[in-house]
Chain A
Amino acid sequence: MSSARATGDLVRSFSLFGPEMDTKSEEIYRSMRSDCPVGWSEELGGYWVVSSYDAASQVLRNPAVFSSAEIAVPSFHDEWGPMLPQQVDPPEHALYRRDLNQLLAPARVAAFEAWAREFAGDLWDRIALRGGGELKAEFCVPYTSQVAMRFLGFAPDEIEQYQEWNARILASLDPDAVEAKAELANDIKPRIYECLAGVLSARASQTNPPDDVITGLTRARRGDRPYSLDEQVRTLHLLINAGLDTTNNVIGASLWFLAGNSTHLDRLGSDPTSIPAAVEEFARYFNNTAVARVVTTETDLGGCQLKPGDLVEVLLPSACRDDDAFGDGEAVRFDRLTNPHLSFSVGPHRCLGSHLARMEMRVAFETLVDRISSMRLVSPGKVRWESTYVRKIEQIDVAIVPRRVVGSD
């Protein structure tokens, strides 16, 4: 059997939820990119699988042909209606995004950086004091959830509940999770809605409310009218969902890599000015999201004829390692000068939280190398694909050598 034929079979039976994705995703993506960058999978009702950088960019840049009315395979529709603004197409999409872009613009993220730095520093100090720890539970989860939720404007005691709800939402995305889906729809989603509507309503009637995203949403406009409370709830829900898991996993994967590759960690320690480039490289290398679109009009993509109504799944983790776009794409290189990665997507749906995510990553690494001179894996962290399009490392046990004795001054 030729390799192209074998890859054809690979694509025909491809599913992100397949058990082989736990351990073989990198080689599966490599084969698909080289032999069949656009192909038809017969799984999950049938859909196009896009694995190359070039084809992924074409899909994401062309919302008139590839609509966001569908954003996942299998098709996902929230009982609250289209997810805002993720499932809205241009030109209406721009009306929703304008004020949101402003609320999550680089300058507003920069104003929050000092808080994030202090929080990250405290977490590293605690880990340093004990000579190591488990980085998912002791750093990634508390850091990314506290920073994202505090940035949005939630109170510290509100955060844990949303984390728990978010875990239920992610678990329910598995096509086989029938009970979890029912529980989510009947019990959890109504409670989330009520909670968010309560937070937003309270904020809208507060005198001198804090200058944060929640307050901003209560005043946001969609073109010539204000966001309705329902639109505010749905948008805030999306911001929470998007903010809690992706950064947690990309920072986790990066720390796991640094613990296993001391030359890379030493490079960041000896030259912290290389950290911004490392952030882009880790965002590229450990991209952990797949996005979908639905075809609106007959079109050609990579030599395939796509028809209206066809679902298209864009495998960003594969596109971001494409050798045709990134020389030596499967290596982590902090000296990469050209790195136009798609980790925050491209086109009008560019990740709304990208500036926050990038700041979180940079501050995590800066505070790490400021306090820690070496770090090694105690047990090789278990890496596996979760059922939710997210590449997840379950556990990162490390031993570390602090740069200085903590608490000695």
Chain B
Amino acid sequence: MVRVLIDAAKCHGHARCSLILPAVFDTDELGNGVVVHEGEVPEVLEGRARQAILNCPEHAITEVDPS
């Protein structure tokens, strides 16, 4: 299992991630990206998580080693 993180300093609220993978990404009341379930990505959704990372125009999302 991989984990994803959003760098709040880089996120400017495009919401691309939450549109691509709402099971892992959401937006807060200001419209900024947040991760749900501490950013844990179920194995079947890893491809879409990587797609969310690549589509973030701010490069605000990173994949981290969960260990």
| B5 CB within 8 Å of chain A | no
**A-B pairs under 8 A by CB, number:** 54
Q: Once the chains bind, are B29 and A350 in contact (CB under 8 Å)?
A: no
Q: Once the chains bind, are B30 and A339 in contact (CB under 8 Å)?
A: no
Residue of B nearest to A105 (CB): B31
Q: Once the chains bind, are B19 and A340 in contact (CB under 8 Å)?
A: no
Instruction: Return the CB mask of B15-32 against A: 1 if under 8 Å, else 0.
Output: 110110000000101111
Residue of A nearest to B59 (CB): A340
| A344 CB within 8 Å of chain B | yes
Q: Once the chains bind, are B31 and A101 in contact (CB under 8 Å)?
A: yes
| B55 CB within 8 Å of chain A | yes
Please classify how large the interface on chain A is, using the bins under 10, 10 to 19, 20 to 34, 35 or more.
Answer: 20 to 34
* Residues of chain B at interface, number, CB under 8 A: 18
Cα A57 to Cα B30 in complex, Å, equals 23
| A363 CB within 8 Å of chain B | no
Q: Once the chains bind, are A337 and B51 in contact (CB under 8 Å)?
A: yes
| A223 CB within 8 Å of chain B | no
Q: Once the chains bind, are B30 and A337 in contact (CB under 8 Å)?
A: no
Q: Once the chains bind, are B14 and A102 in contact (CB under 8 Å)?
A: no
Cα A358 to Cα B32 in complex, Å, equals 16
Q: Once the chains bind, are B30 and A350 in contact (CB under 8 Å)?
A: no
Q: Once the chains bind, are B31 and A106 in contact (CB under 8 Å)?
A: yes
Cα A337 to Cα B30 in complex, Å, equals 27
Q: Once the chains bind, are B55 and A106 in contact (CB under 8 Å)?
A: no
What's the minimum C-beta distance from B33 to chain A, rounded to whole angstroms?
A: 10
Q: List 22 A-B contacts (CB under 8 A).
A: A101-B13, A101-B32, A102-B30, A102-B31, A104-B31, A105-B29, A105-B30, A105-B31, A106-B15, A106-B31, A280-B16, A338-B54, A338-B55, A339-B55, A340-B55, A340-B56, A344-B14, A344-B57, A350-B14, A354-B15, A355-B15, A358-B19
Binding site for A on B (CB under 8 A): 12-16, 18-19, 27, 29-32, 51, 54-58
